[in-house]
């Protein structure tokens, strides 16, 4: 794991932060919140729905930063530089690691296709943004 010494941590953290910030837009009323709430059957007016939000936000930021770290390791190993390579690497990892893992769970849990498309789309776009940041810096 000598490549860990060559990872630039600022782009990794910025990639995780950008991925996290995308979620604020993706799951907002402007985009997919109304449909997402229907699919998940979450009532935003229920006081219990907001419990534990800080932990969820911190945990998701850590996991998105972990995804950015993995993209950075792959970018280093593949010697990819430039925003277009970052977008392609993010697309590849988002589709073939993130979305497929989500799909496996959703198949067994019999979740709606619409929910899969919303959450899978977020994973792909978030990975692409992280890849662009990592490969551009």
pLDDT tens digits for 5-44? Answer: 889 999 999 999 999 999 999 999 999 999 999 999 999 8
Q: How far apart are CA 102 and CA 119, in angstroms?
A: 8
36 touches 118 (CB < 8 A): yes
Is 59 exposed, middle or buried, given 0-12, 13-18 or 19+ CB atoms closer than 10 A? Answer: exposed
Q: What is the pTM (predicted TM-score) of this model?
A: 0.93
Question: So what's the pLDDT on residue 4?
Answer: 77
The domain containing residue 47 runs over which residues? 2-136
Dihedral angle, C-alpha 41, 44, 47, 48, nearest 10 °: 40
Cα 12–chain centre separation: 13
Q: How far apart are CA 89 and CA 57, in angstroms?
A: 25
90 pLDDT above the threshold of 70: yes
What is the chain's mean pLDDT, rounded?
Answer: 95
As for how many domains the chain has, the answer is 1
Q: Which residue has the tokens 């990892």?
A: 93
């Amino acid at each position: 794991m000598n490549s860990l010494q060559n990872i630039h941590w600022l782009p990794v953290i910025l990639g995780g932060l950008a991925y996290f910030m995308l979620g604020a837009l993706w799951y907002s009323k402007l985009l997919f919140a109304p449909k997402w709430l229907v699919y998940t059957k979450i009532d935003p007016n229920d006081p219990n729905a907001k419990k534990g939000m800080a932990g969820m936000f911190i945990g998701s930021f850590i996991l998105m930063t972990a995804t950015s770290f993995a993209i950075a390791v792959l970018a280093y190993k593949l010697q990819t530089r430039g925003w277009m390579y970052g977008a392609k690497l993010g697309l590849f990892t988002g589709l073939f690691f993130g979305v497929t893992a989500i799909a496996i769970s959703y198949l067994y849990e019999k979740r709606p296709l619409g929910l899969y498309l919303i959450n899978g789309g977020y994973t792909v776009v978030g990975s692409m943004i992280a890849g662009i940041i990592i490969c551009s810096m």
